[in-house]
Each structure stands twice: as structure tokens, then as C-alpha cells.
């Protein structure tokens, strides 16, 4: 079995909506590495719906973004900041049905990395996305977040 990762990798009390294990309203996603993919399983509930029984589209994009970010973290051991997202909803993401999300590096780079993301539900492809992440050194990351880089993040700054 693969090692499971979540926001606790970055120390206690992380604020991330997508992966913090104790975020009061967040997804609390956990990730594993399967060869060249990063994988998560997620059960959307009514808490995250837009129309009845359908996950809100903006939150689907949030899910895809988080998978892309973790692909950079686990596959490249770097921290990337989202620069661009393009996605296509191929079918509605239903509440109450598990989603399997996969991310992989589609375009390696030294400063900008491309990541492909897929969401599958009920064995059908429901979403595809292409994201670009900028890899920042410590100084650039601190400028972006407006303060010092948390100590647990330092090893991921290139």
C-alpha cells in the first residue's frame, strides 16, 4: 500500500481548504502516489452542492486544483503556485458518489510545470483539466504569500 499524504505534511494547523486534515469546512483530501500519478478519493456531500445533488462547479475546479498541486508536491517534491487552469466538465459530479481524482505531470519545466487532472465518478470520466504551476524559490514564495515561508514548506522551495 502506498504512503498516504495530507496537509499535515506541512506541519500542524495548516489552513488549506483542500488538504488540511482539520479544516472545519474543507475537503480534507488525502493523496497517494501510484507510479506517475497522484491519486485521491473524495466523497462529495450535499455540503458542497450547487444544484440539488450536483457538486458546485467552482468546488469541482477547487478539487482539480488541489490534485494538480499535490502532483507537483509528490512527483517533483516542489511547491507550485497555480498560474492557469483550464477544465472541462464532461458530466455532473454527483453528491453521494465517490470521485477518484488523478494528477500527473504533463509538461515538465524548471519554472513552470504543466499538470493533467482527471476526475472519474462511477467508472466514467467526469472532468479533465490542464493546469500550470509556477515553481518559486523561497524568496518568491514569501513575496507571493506576503510573509515568511513556513518552516515545513522550505524543503519544497526550489
The pLDDT tens digits for 77-89 are 998 999 999 999 9
pLDDT score of 23 more than 70: yes
Residue 154 confidence (pLDDT): 87
Distance between CA atoms of residues 81 and 121, nearest Å: 27
* Domains of the chain, start order: 7-156 (3.10.129.10)
Measured CA to CA, the distance from residue 75 to residue 35 in angstroms comes to 9
Q: How much of the chain, in percent, has pLDDT values that exceed 90?
A: 85
DSSP, collapsed to helix, strand or coil, labels residue 12 as: coil
Amino acid at each position: 500500500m502506498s504512503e498516504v499524504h495530507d496537509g499535515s505534511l506541512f506541519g500542524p494547523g495548516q489552513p488549506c481548504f483542500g488538504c488540511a486534515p482539520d479544516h472545519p469546512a474543507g475537503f480534507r483530501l488525502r493523496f497517494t502516489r501510484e507510479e506517475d500519478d497522484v491519486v485521491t478519493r473524495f466523497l462529495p456531500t450535499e455540503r458542497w452542492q450547487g444544484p440539488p445533488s450536483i457538486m458546485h462547479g467552482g468546488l469541482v475546479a477547487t478539487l482539480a486544483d488541489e490534485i494538480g498541486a499535490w502532483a507537483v508536491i509528490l512527483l517533483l517534491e516542489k511547491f507550485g503556485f497555480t498560474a492557469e487552469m483550464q477544465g472541462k466538465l464532461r458530466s455532473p459530479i454527483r453528491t453521494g458518489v465517490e470521485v477518484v481524482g488523478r494528477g500527473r505531470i504533463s509538461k515538465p519545466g524548471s519554472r513552470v510545470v504543466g499538470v493533467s487532472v482527471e476526475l472519474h465518478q462511477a467508472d466514467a470520466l467526469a472532468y479533465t483539466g490542464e493546469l500550470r504551476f509556477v515553481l518559486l524559490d523561497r524568496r518568491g514564495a514569501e513575496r507571493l504569500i506576503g510573509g515568511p515561508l513556513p518552516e515545513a514548506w522550505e524543503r519544497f522551495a526550489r
